């Protein structure tokens, strides 16, 4: 029942319907939030005071999050880094808010838009100074984050997943280099002149290196890589209408 309620709450102002949440409801919500949420994606837009988009920062990195069902959260920014923070759920005017505090004291407040057994969608709004030439313009950074709940395949699959999102046409080649074996790149998948969202997953072993080559307008293209759902990281090189992975992107 709650999963449907959360989606409904996100649209409450459009329907004019009041939703009342009590302490029992919030405990149920916290129970559903408990666990590990993986495959994070984040889209950020800069809007003016009237809500008009003045800049689209596109898709950027976001951490995976693990909630303990009490007040503790672990944030996985990549395979090597995990941060211990705290969180708190609250409700106001029928909306649900998730407040996450990083260990350095940085605090982010999200509104919970959707929470089902599989998907968590959050939105945050932070002050932002946008420069029109040399003139600062008061604005807001609006971030939409989507995560997926960990399942059994994420635990045992040893899978690398590549996701590319682009509003323009692109060509992609996905390789894996078995650095503990022949140390040669093996082509795993290729797609020519596609548009929208591309995803591809394949099994790996420890020490493998992911190599991705994307030909297209990188200013309109986002790239994500995950190992068992956790964000991978490394360096990217850009040139002309192409970008590719370089150092890093290793399977632990």
CATH number for the domain spanning 144: value is: 2.40.128
Mean pLDDT computed over 139-159: 93
Mean pLDDT computed over 87-106: 94
Same domain, 139 and 189: no
Mean pLDDT computed over 108-126: 95
Domain that holds residue 40: 2-149
Confidence at residue 182, expressed as pLDDT on a 0 to 100 scale: 66
**Does the structure show a pLDDT above 50 at 123?**
yes
Same domain, 214 and 112: no
Cβ neighbours of residue 90 closer than 8 Å, sequence gap 6 or more? 96, 97, 99
Same domain, 88 and 191: no
- From 131, 149, 167, give the residue that closes a domain: 149
Same domain, 117 and 196: no
Confidence at residue 10, expressed as pLDDT on a 0 to 100 scale: 40
pTM: 0.87
The CA angle 114-60-116, to the nearest 5 degrees, is: 15
Confidence at residue 19, expressed as pLDDT on a 0 to 100 scale: 58
Same domain, 89 and 47: yes
> What's the number of domains the chain is made of?
2
Q: How far is CA 193 from CA 59, 75, 166, 238, 244, in A?
A: 20, 36, 11, 19, 17
What is the distance between the alpha carbons of residues 32 and 213, in angstroms, rounded to a whole number? 38
- From 149, 183, 217, give the residue that closes a domain: 149
Same domain, 50 and 124: yes
**Does the structure show a pLDDT above 60 at 8?**
no
**Does the structure show a pLDDT above 50 at 16?**
no
pLDDT confidence bin for 183, thresholds 50/70/90: confident
**Does the structure show a pLDDT above 90 at 224?**
yes
What is the distance between the alpha carbons of residues 125 and 110, in angstroms, rounded to a whole number? 8
Mean pLDDT of the chain: 89
Q: How far is CA 8 from CA 4, 89, 116, in A?
A: 6, 18, 12
pLDDT confidence bin for 29, thresholds 50/70/90: very high
Same domain, 104 and 22: yes
Do the strands 135-149 and 119-132 form a parallel or antiparallel pair, or are they unpaired?
antiparallel
Same domain, 43 and 168: no
């Amino acid at each position: 029942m709650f999963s449907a309620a959360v989606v409904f709450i996100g649209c409450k102002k459009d329907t004019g319907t009041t939703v009342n949440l009590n302490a029992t409801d919030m405990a149920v919500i916290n129970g559903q939030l408990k666990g590990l949420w993986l495959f994070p994606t984040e889209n950020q837009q800069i809007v003016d005071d009237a809500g008009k988009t003045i800049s689209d920062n596109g898709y950027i990195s976001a951490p995976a999050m693990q909630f303990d069902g009490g007040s503790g959260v672990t944030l996985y920014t990549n395979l090597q880094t995990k941060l211990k923070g705290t969180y708190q759920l609250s409700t106001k005017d029928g909306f649900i808010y998730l407040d996450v505090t990083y260990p350095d004291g940085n605090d982010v407040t999200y509104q919970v838009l959707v929470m089902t057994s599989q998907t968590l969608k959050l939105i945050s709004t932070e002050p932002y100074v946008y420069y029109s030439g040399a003139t600062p313009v008061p604005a807001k950074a609006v971030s939409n984050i989507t995560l997926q709940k960990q399942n059994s395949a994420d635990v045992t699959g040893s899978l690398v997943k590549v996701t590319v999102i682009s509003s323009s046409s692109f060509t992609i080649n996905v390789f894996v280099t078995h650095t503990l074996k022949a140390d040669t790149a093996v082509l795993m998948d290729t797609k020519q002149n596609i548009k929208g969202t591309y995803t591809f997953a394949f099994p790996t072993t420890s020490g493998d290196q992911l190599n991705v080559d994307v030909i297209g307008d990188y200013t309109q293209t986002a790239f994500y890589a995950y190992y068992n759902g956790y964000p991978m990281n490394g360096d990217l090189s850009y040139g002309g209408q192409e970008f590719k992975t370089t150092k890093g992107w290793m399977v632990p």
